[in-house]
């Protein structure tokens, strides 16, 4: 399986899929509360962070980008979380074809 990476500003590679950020850091990066991030995971299934052996959530850069996209869809476009979930499911269905 290939890792998805982007070039950094210094010409190196930035790994976007390795889970490295704890929820508190992601909350600061996205300006979302840890409670809201947990709800988007458990209540709506919008995100699936990695879990450590101790059960702590770790998020990748892709996860952070997804959270920011969800936030934009809700705040700027007025989508409900159920609407965001349907949109994500439709997009995933198209990629699977």
With vertex at residue 90, the alpha carbon angle to CA 27 and CA 70, rounded to the nearest 5 degrees, is: 15
Quote the CA–CA distance of 12 and 6 in Å, as a whole number: 8
Architecture of the domain spanning 19-95: Orthogonal Bundle (1.10)
- The pLDDT mean for the chain works out to 89
pLDDT tens for the chain, 97 residues long, are: 444 555 544 555 668 999 999 999 999 999 999 999 999 999 999 999 999 999 999 999 999 999 999 999 999 999 999 999 999 999 888 876 5
- CA 61 to chain centroid, in Å, comes to 7
Q: What is the pLDDT of residues 6-25, one digit of tens each?
A: 554 455 566 899 999 999 99
Kindly report the pTM of this predicted structure: 0.81
């Amino acid at each position: 399986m290939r890792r998805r990476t982007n070039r950094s500003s210094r010409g190196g590679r930035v790994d976007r899929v390795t889970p490295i950020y704890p929820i508190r850091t992601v909350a600061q990066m996205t300006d979302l509360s840890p409670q809201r991030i947990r709800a988007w995971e458990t209540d709506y299934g919008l995100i699936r962070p990695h879990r450590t052996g101790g059960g702590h959530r770790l998020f990748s850069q892709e996860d952070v980008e997804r959270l920011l996209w969800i936030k934009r869809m809700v705040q700027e476009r007025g989508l409900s979380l159920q609407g965001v979930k349907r949109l994500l499911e439709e997009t995933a269905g198209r990629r699977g074809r």
